Structure 1
Amino acid sequence: MKRTLIILAFLFYFIGYSQSVKIGILSDESTSETQPLLEDLKSQIRAVVGQNTSVNFSDVLINDHNIDKAKSNYQQLVNDDTDIILSFGLINNIVIYEEDIYPKPTIVFGSVNNDFIDLPENQTTSEIENVTYIIAPISYKEDLEAFRDLFDYKNIGIIIEDYVVEALPVRELFNNYFSQQDSNYKLIPINDDNNVSNLLSGIDAVYMAGGFFKTDAELKALIDEINSRKLPSFSAFENRTVQQGILAINQPETNISQFFRRIALNVEAIINGTNASELPLFIDYKKKLSINFSTAKQIEFPLRYSLLGKADFVGDNAVVASDISLSLLDIMNDVVKNNLSLQAERKNIELAQQDIKTSKSGFLPDVTASASGLYVDPRVAEISGGASPEFSTSAVVVANQLIYSESAAANISIQNSLQKAQEQTYSAAELDALLNASIAYFNALILKTNAQIQNENLKVTKRNLELAEQNFEAGASGKSDVLRFRSQLAQNTQSLIEAGNQLSQSFFTINQLLNTQISNKIDVIDAELSEGVFKNYRYQDFFELLDNPKLQANLIEFLIEEAKKNAPELKNIDFNLDVTERNYDLNDYGRFIPTVSLQGQYSLAISQWGVGSTLPAGAITAPDGTYNVGLNLSLPIFQQNLRNINRQTIKIQEEQLQIQRENTDLNIEKNVNDIVLDLVNQIANIEISKISEETAKESLELTQNAYQEGAVPVIQLIDAQTNYLQTQLARATANYNYLITSMQLERAIGYFFLMHTETENQEFIQRAQQYILSRN
């Protein structure tokens, strides 16, 4: 019996302790974006209050920014069975502020920032019966200062709802602030009807102090209009605005859960008997500058690297700001057309063609015309009998025509071969330029990825610093952890700066290869295996082919054969061998072939006068014009033994070229074998790096959680972060390294797939398949 009484006593105790609370909610507006937040708030309140109290929520009362409606809604909750009132929004807060007494506990939270709140310095509670406020560290003035650090605006447009301008002393606040600045402002009140685009003229920046209750679609349209005008922008609100395209905010990534937690704790305290006037007013959180890289790129906004240490960066392109995006094929085509080194090599071909023309000109006629005037001593002229008049003029035309010369014929043949050799020199230079362009492109991608990963690593360090600070404040760790991560933050910031500068240098290299202005802002389009121009790079199939030792050997044999067939270096040597052979023939049997030429001359006496210009009577008159024609034939008999010496020299040159050819053959074979093995390594690296990154990421998350709980030391967290960074870099660069090695193989075989048609590439693949299958 006694036991039964004890059980009944416990039951009555718990029945008596359990209670029901009804909470009423006032809001200025309701949108599809605020509904999920409201449900989160309700869940947070129920979780904090606990199971012993049944919490019920009445329907949310909306005022649609109407003061009278807001007053009516508030009185409705005061008069019904509501136990606690939650008030959200500026209009509701103004209505409640104007009340003299508060019959029911009321928690006020809204969009009035602390620029408008004037409390005594030491006041931390409302000191008003049954009412408490939650005051967040939101300040227009602090935002404007943060924005000025980012961009030195001169005439800023401030967007804010028109009802806020009417309800609060907004103009007075901004007038007082800008009276102390060297800049001006333009207030842009907005509502659901006006067209903001008509109000954005005459400003150089935008501060969004309003727009919080706009839908995502409306907010995105407004932000797109701002960005289309290339206006730097700043927002007073949460992370979603920077995600949707605002340039920057000075708010943490998310603080809504912190607000909901405070509201829930206040509700719990009121239920437990605490008067709302005794609850703390201020809620504090650390502000964080966030910048949208994509927006900065779109509006061509110059970002200072000094911001990297204190700012987070969002956006799909966290490094490059350029409208010119180049693929590998773009770069390769432009290099062939515009590269200065290749242009110089093409001039060498033109010069070789000029040498051919010069050699052929030896068989063209050589005609020379000359005229002369002669004055003779009169005494001599007088006794010359008319043969040497005192004054005379004459002209001579001489023509020479080479009929045949072995040396001239050999020179034509030699110059033709040298011109073909020069073409092969150009071909080799072009292949090298294409390889250099490919390497520059992939290096840029590697450095771009590195910069992006360094930026993400910087975020991880900032997160770890927050954990260290939380642990320090909670007494779970010492200040040394905080200092260690602050030092790590500085190092990571420097790494990000260096990564960005290295990326810029890689773009300088590409601009130099393309013969464009070095400072020209460009970007490179990402390259992925089996995507875009690399869709035919089925590296898994290639790996299976290489992984079979027998097939691998056959493939290498085919590639070596192709390389030797295409190699411009071997063709160059072959053409130079043709030159030595022709030179040898010239100095061998060529010395027995005579040189035959034809020569003619025509002389004309134009005029004569003075003493002795008249012939004596009966003298025979010479014709005014005379000519002669002659045939020359020459054969060198002995030229100081130069012919024999030349033959010996040429023979040495030929042997030297043969040695060079053998050495080039060996280099080709070695290069192909080396590169194929490198490809196997790169393919394996791609697969292994995937596993390593996934493992390192999971390890970092587990270590962060363990560190937050005080289960592991700081050095273990740093090691996990460093390992994750390294595996990210390895994973990101593995594909690029594979493609670089592929390009090196294509250079080795003298065949770049991207520079050939699909038909030509298919023919190449078919030859490879036939070659490999025929040897199995």
Structure 2
Amino acid sequence: MTSTFKSLTILLTVFCFIIPAAAQNPTIHIGVILDGPAERNAARQREFQKQIIEFFNSEYDVRFTPENTLEGDWTAAGVKAAVDRLLADKDVEFILALGPISSNEIALRKNLPKPVIAGAVIDAKLQNFPTKDGASGVKNLNYLDEAYSVTRTIKAFQEVVPFKKLVVLHNPGILTAIPQLRERAQQEVQALDAQLEFVPVMTSAATALQALPADADAVYISPLLQIPEKEFDILVAGINQRRLPSFSYLGKAEVEKGVLASYAPTDDMTRRARRIASNMQRILRGEEAGSIPVDFPSAPQLIINMATARAIDFYPNWKTLTEAELLNQEEVKTARTLSLAGSAREAVRVNLDLRIASKETESGKYEVKKARANLLPQVEASATGILIKQETAEASLGQQAERQIDGSLTFSQLLYSESASANFSIQKHLQTAREDDRRSVELDIALEAATAYLNVLRAKALSRIQRGNLKLTVSNLELA
């Protein structure tokens, strides 16, 4: 009995240890490659780690460790060394490239001993990334392709700002690692009959601003991932101080910081991280990375910062205003506001047609008075005086006085005149018609003003609704 109890106890103890061990999720160590040290790296990395860990919470124990998170030095050679190190590390099962240089380095490799995902692709087609049937077609390689080309962004900028000399602020490491970007930008700007100049930027805004040519009339801000946030703000403020229209490749986040415009998909790190996590899951479940679709569709949206536009004395054309998402729109501030009734009264007060009708009505009153005067008693008075020389009066022997004054006073009353009575009646009717016409003009003016007022309110409401619908449509498209 005692022996049986002890055996049962041992079995239960062993069973309790075995069950948790069997239920434990497999551990996956992920290596992360960043192009170089940057202030933005920490926030970006935290978001990716958070989303991926949450995505695999019930399936895998995902580990991100500092020793497996490598930063290059913003050069192709430095990034290549980081890639080689993680590919050779046997403790790393999966690699994520979260920079444009590292994504380019990984995607162009022929042999990859472990699964990798390039998550920061600029222009896959231009960079000659491998593709086959919508996937990479390369063993262990997957990447995210937004199909967001440099050509589209430059054309979009030129439609907003018809520049003649464009300056591109760029990270020299990116253009050195991906020289096709420089070549394509030059071709596109030449096709637009404009000039192009490149200005390298690392961490100093002052150096970049000093290098801006005096004859530049627009600035294109390429991904400057290495520049500190404070320096980026100084850079944008300096560009705006020179009243140069600016355009961001990265999108809305930089437009909110003061860049004039952007034509880019929303840089949604959460959505990107979840897509990477989904692709990782498919790979870990046995699907070949090279067969997973690389399309990462998104809807570019023209965004304009109207506060910046006002600051640099730039006003977009009507087509641009109707198609773009406008940030920091200024409400029109006036000393007085008009209500519906107030707008009608104001229109009546200043309308010239109504003033003419009022003058005609006033002159008609005198015509009525004039016609009525013929029917009233008439009093006429006259006086004449004659003064002749004294010699002439004496020579007339009393026939002519030296001074002679004659006067008369006549009173008359018209008892009946058909024409005078008819004229008076006609003038009264004409005056009534003139007053009615004036009132009609006044009411028409008030009606037109009220209609215009309501049309403005309706147009504003429809504009808000349409912009809301556009945002919703774009959001649904991105989700789809």
TM-score range, shorter chain: 0.5 to 0.7
CA separation of 1:183 and 1:237: change in aligned 2, threshold 3 A: same
Q: CA deviation at 1:457?
A: 4.5
Q: CA deviation at 1:130?
A: 1.2
CA separation of 1:248 and 1:23: change in aligned 2, threshold 3 A: same
User: Is 2:298 the partner of 1:285?
Assistant: yes
User: Is 2:308 the partner of 1:300?
Assistant: no
2:47·2:269 contact (CA, 8 Å) conserved in 1? no
AA at the equivalent of 1:204 = D
CA RMSD of aligned residues (A): 3.5
2:299·2:474 contact (CA, 8 Å) conserved in 1? no
CA separation of 1:106 and 1:457: change in aligned 2, threshold 3 A: same
Local SS of the residue matching 2:471: helix
- The residue aligned with 2:225 is 212
- The residue aligned with 2:91 is 81
CA separation of 1:154 and 1:260: change in aligned 2, threshold 3 A: same
Give the one of 56, 63, 70 matched to 1:61: 70
AA at the equivalent of 1:45 = I
CA separation of 1:451 and 1:160: change in aligned 2, threshold 3 A: farther
Deviation track 1:498-550 (CA, whole Å, cap 9, x = no partner) reads: xxxxxxxxxxxxxxxxxxxxxxxxxxxxxxxxxxxxxxxxxxxxxxxxxxxxx
| Whole-angstrom CA distance in 1 between matches of 2:459 and 2:124 | 38
User: Is 2:325 the partner of 1:318?
Assistant: no
User: Is 2:54 the partner of 1:47?
Assistant: yes
CA separation of 1:285 and 1:229: change in aligned 2, threshold 3 A: same
| 1:523-538 correspondence to structure 2 within 5 Å | none
User: Is 2:119 the partner of 1:109?
Assistant: yes
- The residue aligned with 1:173 is 184
| Whole-angstrom CA distance in 2 between matches of 1:181 and 1:54 | 52
- The residue aligned with 2:195 is 184
TM-score (norm 2): 0.64
Structure 1: 5+ residue stretches without partners: 329-446, 474-776
- The residue aligned with 1:593 is none
- The residue aligned with 1:227 is 240
Deviation track 1:693-717 (CA, whole Å, cap 9, x = no partner) reads: xxxxxxxxxxxxxxxxxxxxxxxxx
Give the one of 140, 149, 158 matched to 1:130: 140
| Whole-angstrom CA distance in 1 between matches of 2:475 and 2:32 | 35
What percentage of residue pairs aligned between the two structures are identical? Answer: 22
Local SS of the residue matching 2:97: strand
1:138·1:236 contact (CA, 8 Å) conserved in 2? no
User: Is 2:473 the partner of 1:460?
Assistant: no
Q: CA deviation at 1:112?
A: 3.1
Q: CA deviation at 1:107?
A: 0.9
1:140·1:209 contact (CA, 8 Å) conserved in 2? no
User: Is 2:215 the partner of 1:202?
Assistant: yes
| Whole-angstrom CA distance in 2 between matches of 1:213 and 1:451 | 45
User: Is 2:254 the partner of 1:241?
Assistant: yes
Aligned length: 347
| 1:717-728 correspondence to structure 2 within 5 Å | none
| Whole-angstrom CA distance in 1 between matches of 2:211 and 2:457 | 40
User: Is 2:27 the partner of 1:20?
Assistant: yes
| Whole-angstrom CA distance in 1 between matches of 2:456 and 2:239 | 28
Deviation track 1:234-280 (CA, whole Å, cap 9, x = no partner) reads: 11103111001111111234432221111111111122122211221
Deviation track 1:67-115 (CA, whole Å, cap 9, x = no partner) reads: 4433332233222401101112133234434644211111112253235
1:313·1:455 contact (CA, 8 Å) conserved in 2? no
Deviation track 1:403-453 (CA, whole Å, cap 9, x = no partner) reads: xxxxxxxxxxxxxxxxxxxxxxxxxxxxxxxxxxxxxxxxxxxx9999998
- The residue aligned with 1:37 is 44
CA separation of 1:206 and 1:470: change in aligned 2, threshold 3 A: closer
| Whole-angstrom CA distance in 2 between matches of 1:469 and 1:96 | 30
CA separation of 1:31 and 1:176: change in aligned 2, threshold 3 A: closer
| 1:373-452 correspondence to structure 2 within 5 Å | none
| 1:269-668 correspondence to structure 2 within 5 Å | 269-315=282-328, 317-318=329-330, 457-466=465-474
| Whole-angstrom CA distance in 1 between matches of 2:476 and 2:271 | 19
1:159·1:208 contact (CA, 8 Å) conserved in 2? yes
1:165·1:189 contact (CA, 8 Å) conserved in 2? no
| Whole-angstrom CA distance in 1 between matches of 2:60 and 2:260 | 45
AA at the equivalent of 2:94 = I
Deviation track 1:143-182 (CA, whole Å, cap 9, x = no partner) reads: 1111121121111111111112222223322232233222
2:48·2:269 contact (CA, 8 Å) conserved in 1? no
Q: CA deviation at 1:298?
A: 0.5
CA separation of 1:454 and 1:181: change in aligned 2, threshold 3 A: same
Local SS of the residue matching 1:124: coil
- The residue aligned with 2:422 is none
Deviation track 1:102-147 (CA, whole Å, cap 9, x = no partner) reads: 1111111225323523368864111111121212232211011111
TM-score (norm 1): 0.41
Deviation track 1:206-256 (CA, whole Å, cap 9, x = no partner) reads: 111232332221111111111111111111103111001111111234432
Local SS of the residue matching 1:307: helix
| Whole-angstrom CA distance in 2 between matches of 1:82 and 1:18 | 17
Q: CA deviation at 1:470?
A: 8.0
| Whole-angstrom CA distance in 2 between matches of 1:53 and 1:113 | 32
CA separation of 1:43 and 1:119: change in aligned 2, threshold 3 A: closer
CA separation of 1:312 and 1:236: change in aligned 2, threshold 3 A: same
Local SS of the residue matching 2:215: coil
AA at the equivalent of 2:46 = E
Which has the larger share of helix? 1
1:212·1:237 contact (CA, 8 Å) conserved in 2? no
CA separation of 1:206 and 1:55: change in aligned 2, threshold 3 A: same
AA at the equivalent of 1:261 = R
AA at the equivalent of 2:74 = H
